[in-house]
Chains A and B, each alone.
Chain A
Protein backbone atom coordinates (compact mmCIF):
# COMPACT_ATOMS: atom_id res chain seq x y z
CA UNK A 1 0.00 0.00 0.00
CA UNK A 2 1.34 3.44 -0.91
CA UNK A 3 2.20 5.70 2.00
CA UNK A 4 -0.42 8.18 0.85
CA UNK A 5 -3.14 5.57 0.72
CA UNK A 6 -2.04 4.23 4.09
CA UNK A 7 -2.22 7.71 5.52
CA UNK A 8 -5.66 8.23 3.98
CA UNK A 9 -6.94 4.94 5.45
CA UNK A 10 -5.60 5.71 8.89
CA UNK A 11 -7.08 9.15 8.66
CA UNK A 12 -10.46 7.69 7.72
CA UNK A 13 -10.37 5.11 10.53
CA UNK A 14 -9.43 7.80 12.98
CA UNK A 15 -12.46 9.85 12.06
CA UNK A 16 -14.70 6.81 12.00
CA UNK A 17 -13.68 6.08 15.58
CA UNK A 18 -14.02 9.68 16.61
CA UNK A 19 -17.56 9.97 15.31
CA UNK A 20 -18.55 6.38 15.83
CA UNK A 21 -22.19 6.50 16.85
CA UNK A 22 -23.08 5.15 20.24
CA UNK A 23 -25.10 1.96 19.84
CA UNK A 24 -28.81 2.68 19.89
CA UNK A 25 -30.63 1.65 23.05
CA UNK A 26 -33.13 -1.09 22.25
CA UNK A 27 -36.37 -0.17 23.94
CA UNK A 28 -39.38 -2.46 24.03
CA UNK A 29 -42.89 -1.10 24.53
CA UNK A 30 -44.82 -3.45 26.84
CA UNK A 31 -48.08 -3.44 28.70
CA UNK A 32 -51.50 -5.11 28.79
CA UNK A 33 -53.60 -5.37 25.62
CA UNK A 34 -55.24 -2.04 24.67
CA UNK A 35 -53.11 0.11 27.00
CA UNK A 36 -52.11 2.25 24.02
CA UNK A 37 -48.68 0.82 23.12
CA UNK A 38 -49.08 1.17 19.36
CA UNK A 39 -50.66 4.61 19.71
CA UNK A 40 -47.58 5.69 21.66
CA UNK A 41 -45.15 4.00 19.23
CA UNK A 42 -46.88 5.78 16.36
CA UNK A 43 -46.62 9.13 18.12
CA UNK A 44 -42.91 8.69 18.88
CA UNK A 45 -42.22 7.69 15.29
CA UNK A 46 -44.35 10.47 13.83
CA UNK A 47 -42.66 13.08 16.03
CA UNK A 48 -39.10 11.95 15.30
CA UNK A 49 -39.09 10.11 11.96
CA UNK A 50 -42.27 11.14 10.16
CA UNK A 51 -43.79 7.68 9.71
CA UNK A 52 -46.02 5.35 11.72
CA UNK A 53 -45.49 1.97 13.37
CA UNK A 54 -48.72 0.08 12.82
CA UNK A 55 -52.48 -0.02 13.08
CA UNK A 56 -54.31 0.86 16.31
CA UNK A 57 -57.61 -0.70 17.35
CA UNK A 58 -60.07 -0.88 20.22
CA UNK A 59 -60.08 -4.66 19.67
CA UNK A 60 -57.56 -6.41 21.92
CA UNK A 61 -54.43 -7.98 20.40
CA UNK A 62 -54.51 -5.83 17.27
CA UNK A 63 -50.71 -6.00 17.30
CA UNK A 64 -49.97 -9.71 16.95
CA UNK A 65 -46.33 -9.54 16.01
CA UNK A 66 -43.61 -7.20 17.20
CA UNK A 67 -42.62 -4.30 14.95
CA UNK A 68 -39.22 -2.74 15.12
CA UNK A 69 -38.01 0.66 13.98
CA UNK A 70 -34.27 1.28 14.21
CA UNK A 71 -32.47 4.54 14.63
CA UNK A 72 -35.08 6.86 16.13
CA UNK A 73 -33.23 9.93 17.38
CA UNK A 74 -34.93 11.90 20.14
CA UNK A 75 -33.57 15.37 20.93
CA UNK A 76 -34.43 17.16 24.15
CA UNK A 77 -32.68 19.99 25.99
CA UNK A 78 -29.63 19.72 23.75
CA UNK A 79 -29.28 16.00 24.49
CA UNK A 80 -29.87 13.47 21.83
CA UNK A 81 -30.52 9.76 22.24
CA UNK A 82 -30.70 7.03 19.59
CA UNK A 83 -33.32 4.33 20.08
CA UNK A 84 -34.42 1.17 18.37
CA UNK A 85 -38.12 1.06 19.22
CA UNK A 86 -39.95 -2.27 19.39
CA UNK A 87 -43.74 -2.16 19.60
CA UNK A 88 -44.66 -5.53 21.12
CA UNK A 89 -48.00 -7.33 21.31
CA UNK A 90 -47.62 -7.14 25.09
CA UNK A 91 -48.19 -9.96 27.55
CA UNK A 92 -51.32 -11.86 28.49
CA UNK A 93 -51.86 -15.06 30.49
CA UNK A 94 -55.08 -16.07 28.74
CA UNK A 95 -56.60 -15.69 25.27
CA UNK A 96 -60.11 -16.88 24.48
CA UNK A 97 -61.25 -16.67 20.88
CA UNK A 98 -64.84 -16.07 22.05
CA UNK A 99 -63.81 -12.56 23.09
CA UNK A 100 -63.03 -11.70 19.47
CA UNK A 101 -66.48 -12.89 18.44
CA UNK A 102 -67.96 -10.05 20.48
CA UNK A 103 -66.63 -7.76 17.73
CA UNK A 104 -68.83 -9.32 15.04
CA UNK A 105 -66.09 -11.59 13.82
CA UNK A 106 -66.75 -14.97 12.24
CA UNK A 107 -65.69 -17.95 14.33
CA UNK A 108 -62.88 -18.94 11.94
CA UNK A 109 -61.50 -15.43 11.90
CA UNK A 110 -61.73 -15.22 15.71
CA UNK A 111 -59.86 -18.51 16.10
CA UNK A 112 -57.18 -17.39 13.65
CA UNK A 113 -56.75 -14.13 15.56
CA UNK A 114 -56.54 -15.94 18.89
CA UNK A 115 -53.84 -18.23 17.52
CA UNK A 116 -51.87 -15.26 16.18
CA UNK A 117 -52.33 -13.47 19.49
CA UNK A 118 -50.75 -16.41 21.38
CA UNK A 119 -47.78 -16.30 18.99
CA UNK A 120 -47.51 -12.55 19.54
CA UNK A 121 -47.29 -12.98 23.31
CA UNK A 122 -44.54 -15.60 22.86
CA UNK A 123 -42.64 -13.12 20.70
CA UNK A 124 -43.03 -10.42 23.37
CA UNK A 125 -41.65 -12.82 26.03
CA UNK A 126 -38.67 -13.67 23.83
CA UNK A 127 -37.87 -10.00 23.25
CA UNK A 128 -37.40 -9.57 27.03
CA UNK A 129 -33.98 -11.22 26.63
CA UNK A 130 -32.87 -8.80 23.95
CA UNK A 131 -33.57 -5.33 25.27
CA UNK A 132 -31.75 -2.46 26.95
CA UNK A 133 -34.89 -1.08 28.58
CA UNK A 134 -38.65 -1.00 28.61
CA UNK A 135 -41.42 1.53 28.35
CA UNK A 136 -44.30 -0.04 30.27
CA UNK A 137 -47.59 1.46 29.15
CA UNK A 138 -50.54 1.26 31.54
CA UNK A 139 -54.09 2.42 31.01
CA UNK A 140 -54.64 4.92 33.84
CA UNK A 141 -58.37 4.16 33.86
CA UNK A 142 -57.65 0.53 34.79
CA UNK A 143 -56.31 -1.26 37.86
CA UNK A 144 -52.48 -1.19 37.65
CA UNK A 145 -51.81 -4.27 39.81
CA UNK A 146 -52.21 -6.76 36.98
CA UNK A 147 -50.05 -9.83 36.79
CA UNK A 148 -48.51 -8.86 33.44
CA UNK A 149 -47.36 -5.55 34.92
CA UNK A 150 -45.92 -7.37 37.93
CA UNK A 151 -44.16 -9.90 35.68
CA UNK A 152 -42.69 -7.29 33.32
CA UNK A 153 -41.45 -5.13 36.19
CA UNK A 154 -40.01 -8.19 37.95
CA UNK A 155 -38.12 -9.20 34.81
CA UNK A 156 -36.60 -5.76 34.35
CA UNK A 157 -35.62 -5.52 38.03
CA UNK A 158 -34.04 -8.99 37.93
CA UNK A 159 -32.06 -8.02 34.83
CA UNK A 160 -31.22 -4.61 36.33
CA UNK A 161 -32.52 -2.84 33.22
CA UNK A 162 -34.15 0.60 33.20
CA UNK A 163 -37.91 0.84 33.13
CA UNK A 164 -40.10 3.86 32.46
CA UNK A 165 -43.77 3.63 33.36
CA UNK A 166 -46.18 5.54 31.15
CA UNK A 167 -49.57 6.18 32.67
CA UNK A 168 -51.62 6.62 29.51
CA UNK A 169 -55.09 7.93 28.65
CA UNK A 170 -55.00 10.82 31.14
CA UNK A 171 -57.34 12.66 28.76
CA UNK A 172 -60.13 10.48 30.12
CA UNK A 173 -61.98 11.86 33.16
CA UNK A 174 -61.77 8.59 35.11
CA UNK A 175 -57.96 8.34 34.70
CA UNK A 176 -56.09 8.00 37.96
CA UNK A 177 -52.31 8.27 37.40
CA UNK A 178 -51.78 8.54 41.16
CA UNK A 179 -52.95 4.97 41.60
CA UNK A 180 -50.15 3.84 39.28
CA UNK A 181 -47.59 6.02 41.01
CA UNK A 182 -48.56 4.56 44.40
CA UNK A 183 -48.50 1.02 43.03
CA UNK A 184 -44.95 1.15 41.66
CA UNK A 185 -43.20 4.01 43.46
CA UNK A 186 -39.70 2.62 42.79
CA UNK A 187 -39.81 3.48 39.05
CA UNK A 188 -40.04 6.76 37.15
CA UNK A 189 -43.48 7.49 35.74
CA UNK A 190 -44.88 10.00 33.24
CA UNK A 191 -48.60 10.67 32.74
CA UNK A 192 -49.55 11.25 29.13
CA UNK A 193 -52.24 10.92 26.55
CA UNK A 194 -50.68 9.08 23.62
CA UNK A 195 -53.82 9.90 21.66
CA UNK A 196 -54.06 13.63 22.36
CA UNK A 197 -50.40 14.31 23.00
CA UNK A 198 -50.74 15.69 26.56
CA UNK A 199 -47.40 16.00 28.34
CA UNK A 200 -45.51 14.32 25.51
CA UNK A 201 -42.44 16.58 25.81
CA UNK A 202 -42.01 15.54 29.44
CA UNK A 203 -42.10 11.94 28.23
CA UNK A 204 -39.28 12.60 25.76
CA UNK A 205 -37.17 14.23 28.47
CA UNK A 206 -37.81 11.28 30.76
CA UNK A 207 -36.93 8.81 27.96
CA UNK A 208 -33.60 10.60 27.44
CA UNK A 209 -32.96 10.59 31.20
CA UNK A 210 -33.92 6.95 31.77
CA UNK A 211 -32.30 5.32 28.74
CA UNK A 212 -29.55 7.83 27.87
Chain B
Protein backbone atom coordinates (compact mmCIF):
# COMPACT_ATOMS: atom_id res chain seq x y z
CA UNK B 1 0.00 0.00 0.00
CA UNK B 2 1.35 3.41 -0.98
CA UNK B 3 0.58 6.62 0.84
CA UNK B 4 0.76 9.35 -1.77
CA UNK B 5 1.60 12.81 -0.50
CA UNK B 6 -0.06 15.92 -1.79
CA UNK B 7 3.25 17.04 -3.33
CA UNK B 8 3.70 13.82 -5.28
CA UNK B 9 0.49 14.44 -7.25
CA UNK B 10 0.47 18.22 -7.37
CA UNK B 11 3.33 18.20 -9.88
CA UNK B 12 1.23 16.24 -12.38
CA UNK B 13 -1.44 17.54 -14.71
CA UNK B 14 -4.90 15.90 -14.45
CA UNK B 15 -4.26 13.41 -17.27
CA UNK B 16 -0.92 12.33 -15.78
CA UNK B 17 -2.52 11.94 -12.37
CA UNK B 18 -5.28 9.67 -13.65
CA UNK B 19 -2.81 7.62 -15.70
CA UNK B 20 -0.44 7.26 -12.74
CA UNK B 21 -3.26 6.03 -10.49
CA UNK B 22 -4.58 3.49 -13.01
CA UNK B 23 -1.09 2.16 -13.73
CA UNK B 24 -0.40 1.67 -10.01
CA UNK B 25 -3.76 0.05 -9.31
CA UNK B 26 -3.32 -2.29 -12.26
CA UNK B 27 -0.07 -3.39 -10.61
CA UNK B 28 -2.27 -4.41 -7.65
CA UNK B 29 -1.28 -1.45 -5.52
CA UNK B 30 -3.63 0.24 -3.11
CA UNK B 31 -3.14 4.00 -2.95
CA UNK B 32 -4.07 6.42 -0.24
CA UNK B 33 -4.06 9.97 -1.58
CA UNK B 34 -3.45 12.60 1.04
CA UNK B 35 -5.25 15.26 -0.96
CA UNK B 36 -7.68 13.23 -3.06
CA UNK B 37 -8.88 14.22 -6.51
CA UNK B 38 -11.13 16.95 -7.84
CA UNK B 39 -14.63 15.80 -8.90
CA UNK B 40 -13.57 16.22 -12.51
CA UNK B 41 -10.49 14.04 -11.99
CA UNK B 42 -12.66 11.42 -10.27
CA UNK B 43 -14.97 11.37 -13.31
CA UNK B 44 -11.97 11.05 -15.64
CA UNK B 45 -10.57 8.24 -13.49
CA UNK B 46 -13.88 6.38 -13.76
CA UNK B 47 -13.87 6.87 -17.52
CA UNK B 48 -10.27 5.66 -17.89
CA UNK B 49 -11.00 2.69 -15.59
CA UNK B 50 -13.83 1.60 -17.89
CA UNK B 51 -11.51 1.54 -20.91
CA UNK B 52 -9.07 -0.76 -19.05
CA UNK B 53 -11.54 -3.40 -17.87
CA UNK B 54 -10.87 -6.84 -19.38
CA UNK B 55 -12.77 -10.10 -18.87
CA UNK B 56 -10.74 -12.34 -16.52
CA UNK B 57 -8.33 -9.45 -15.95
CA UNK B 58 -8.76 -6.02 -14.47
CA UNK B 59 -12.34 -5.62 -13.24
CA UNK B 60 -12.17 -2.03 -12.11
CA UNK B 61 -11.38 -0.02 -9.03
CA UNK B 62 -12.75 0.60 -5.60
CA UNK B 63 -12.49 4.25 -4.66
CA UNK B 64 -13.67 5.97 -1.53
CA UNK B 65 -13.42 9.60 -0.57
CA UNK B 66 -15.37 11.85 1.73
CA UNK B 67 -17.85 14.28 0.21
CA UNK B 68 -16.09 17.56 -0.53
CA UNK B 69 -16.66 20.17 2.10
CA UNK B 70 -18.56 22.91 0.39
CA UNK B 71 -18.68 25.54 3.04
CA UNK B 72 -20.97 28.43 2.30
CA UNK B 73 -19.34 30.84 4.68
CA UNK B 74 -17.53 33.84 3.28
CA UNK B 75 -14.25 32.61 4.75
CA UNK B 76 -14.66 29.33 2.89
CA UNK B 77 -15.49 31.06 -0.37
CA UNK B 78 -12.47 33.32 -0.05
CA UNK B 79 -9.94 30.66 0.74
CA UNK B 80 -10.97 27.52 -1.16
CA UNK B 81 -11.85 28.52 -4.68
CA UNK B 82 -15.60 28.04 -4.76
CA UNK B 83 -15.71 26.36 -1.39
CA UNK B 84 -14.40 23.03 -2.61
CA UNK B 85 -11.74 21.13 -0.76
CA UNK B 86 -10.70 17.68 -1.92
CA UNK B 87 -10.35 15.02 0.73
CA UNK B 88 -8.40 11.94 1.71
CA UNK B 89 -9.10 9.18 -0.83
CA UNK B 90 -8.34 5.47 -1.02
CA UNK B 91 -8.16 3.72 -4.41
CA UNK B 92 -7.38 0.09 -5.15
CA UNK B 93 -8.19 -2.85 -7.40
CA UNK B 94 -11.84 -3.90 -7.05
CA UNK B 95 -10.84 -7.51 -6.35
CA UNK B 96 -8.66 -6.55 -3.37
CA UNK B 97 -10.22 -3.52 -1.73
CA UNK B 98 -13.74 -3.78 -0.35
CA UNK B 99 -15.62 -0.98 1.31
CA UNK B 100 -17.34 -2.35 4.36
CA UNK B 101 -18.92 0.80 5.62
CA UNK B 102 -18.89 4.41 4.69
CA UNK B 103 -20.19 7.25 6.72
CA UNK B 104 -19.87 10.98 6.73
CA UNK B 105 -16.75 10.79 8.90
CA UNK B 106 -15.54 7.19 8.77
CA UNK B 107 -14.62 4.84 5.93
CA UNK B 108 -14.04 1.19 6.83
CA UNK B 109 -12.39 -0.98 4.19
CA UNK B 110 -11.16 -4.52 3.96
CA UNK B 111 -7.87 -5.14 2.22
CA UNK B 112 -7.22 -8.65 1.00
CA UNK B 113 -4.27 -10.13 -0.84
CA UNK B 114 -4.88 -11.28 -4.39
CA UNK B 115 -6.60 -14.67 -4.69
* Chain A contacts to B: CB under 8 angstroms: 91-97, 111, 114-115, 118-119, 121-122, 125-126, 128, 143, 145-148, 150-151, 153-155, 157-158, 160, 183-184, 186
Contact flags B41-78 to A (C-beta < 8 A → 1, else 0): 01110110111010100011111111110100000000
Count B-side interface residues using an 8 Å CB cutoff.
32
In-complex Cβ contact of A186 among B43, B63, B70 (8 A): B70
- Given A114-B53, A183-B104; A93-B61 close (CB under 8 Å): yes
Contact A95 B59 (CB under 8 A): yes
In-complex Cβ contact of A125 among B38, B47, B84 (8 A): B47
In-complex Cβ contact of B55 among A114, A153, A154, A183 (8 A): A114
> What are 16 A-B residue pairs whose CB atoms fall within 8 Å in the complex?
A91-B46, A93-B49, A93-B94, A94-B60, A94-B62, A94-B94, A118-B53, A122-B47, A122-B51, A125-B50, A126-B47, A145-B67, A145-B104, A147-B99, A154-B84, A157-B68
B73 vs chain A, min Cβ distance (A): 13
Any chain A CB within 8 A of the CB of B7? no
Contact B70 A125 (CB under 8 A): no
**CB closest chain-A residue, reference B106:** A145
Any chain A CB within 8 A of the CB of B102? yes
Contact A95 B104 (CB under 8 A): no
Contact A145 B70 (CB under 8 A): no
Contacts of A95 in B (CB 8 A): 50, 53, 59-60
- Given A94-B94, A95-B53, A96-B94; A147-B59 close (CB under 8 Å): no
Count of A-B contacts judged by CB separation below 8 Å: 90
Question: How many Å lie between the Cα of A145 and that of B107 in the bound state?
Answer: 10
Contact A157 B84 (CB under 8 A): yes
Contact flags B72-115 to A (C-beta < 8 A → 1, else 0): 00000000001010000000001000010111100000000000
In-complex Cβ contact of B63 among A93, A114, A184 (8 A): A93
Contacts of A122 in B (CB 8 A): 47, 50-51
Centre residue among B55, B62, B66 by max chain A CB count within 10 A? B55
B64 vs chain A, min Cβ distance (A): 6
**CB closest chain-A residue, reference B68:** A154
Centre residue among A93, A95, A153 by max chain B CB count within 10 A? A93
**CB closest chain-B residue, reference A120:** B50
Leading 6 A-B pairs by shortest Cβ distance? A94-B60, A154-B39, A94-B94, A118-B50, A145-B102, A155-B39
Question: How many Å lie between the Cα of A122 and that of B48 in the bound state?
Answer: 8
Question: How many Å lie between the Cα of A128 and that of B42 in the bound state?
Answer: 12
Any chain A CB within 8 A of the CB of B40? yes
Question: How many Å lie between the Cα of A158 and that of B81 in the bound state?
Answer: 10
Contacts of B44 in A (CB 8 A): 125
B52 vs chain A, min Cβ distance (A): 9
Contacts of B60 in A (CB 8 A): 92-96
Question: How many Å lie between the Cα of A93 and that of B46 in the bound state?
Answer: 6
**CB closest chain-A residue, reference B44:** A125
